[in-house]
Structures are given as structure tokens and as C-alpha cells.
């Protein structure tokens, strides 16, 4: 999953919404602390969604390996040919 995708950024905003509210609306939290908390939430949400995508995606299909046919020895001097 891409780090800058919409689901990652949106879920990180939801996860960090108390810090974003305090930083942007009330001003009780400094802006740098607000942004650091949001960036940490982005990394945590990205890691969680990546693990979830890895667990949910279908497993790779197994390929059957076909062995080549055994070579046929041409009749030589040591083996008699058809009589």
C-alpha cells in the first residue's frame, strides 16, 4: 500500500483527530507537536493496512513443474537395432 494514498491519510487523520483538533481549533497544542503526531499516525496506519493487505490477499498460485521427457538413445553399435 502506498504511504501517501487516500485511505492511509484519511485513517491517520481520524486516528490523530484529537491532536488535530487541539492544534488547529483550540490552539492548546503547538503546531509542530500536532504535525508530528499526525505523521506518526500516518506511519502506524500505513503499517497496519499493509499487514492487513498482506494477510487478506490471495496466496500465490502454485505452479506445477513439468519434467522434460527422458531422452531416447539412438541405436548405436553396442545396442542391436530392430532385427
CA distances from 10 to 13, 41, 68 (A): 5, 10, 53
First to last CA, the chain: 70
**pTM (whole model) above 0.85:** no
Closest CA to 29 of 41, 16, 42, 12: 16
Q: For the segment 20-76, what is each residue's pLDDT rounded down to a tens digit?
A: 999 999 999 999 999 999 999 999 999 999 999 999 988 776 666 777 777 777 766
| Extents of the domains making up the chain | 6-56
Residue with the bigger pLDDT between 17 and 78: it is 17
Would you tell me how many other CB atoms lie within 10 Å of the CB of residue 34? Answer: 19
d(CA 7, CA 15): 12
Q: What is the pLDDT of residue 62?
A: 63
pLDDT at residue 17 tops 90: yes
Amino acid at each position: 500500500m502506498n504511504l501517501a494514498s487516500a485511505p492511509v491519510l484519511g485513517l491517520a487523520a481520524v486516528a490523530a483527530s484529537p491532536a488535530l483538533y487541539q492544534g488547529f481549533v483550540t490552539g492548546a497544542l503547538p503546531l509542530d507537536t500536532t504535525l508530528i503526531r499526525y505523521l506518526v499516525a500516518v506511519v502506524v496506519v500505513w503499517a497496519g493496512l499493509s499487514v492487513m493487505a498482506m494477510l487478506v490477499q490471495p496466496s500465490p498460485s502454485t505452479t506445477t513443474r513439468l519434467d522434460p521427457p527422458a531422452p531416447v538413445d539412438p541405436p548405436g553399435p553396442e545396442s542391436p537395432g530392430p532385427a
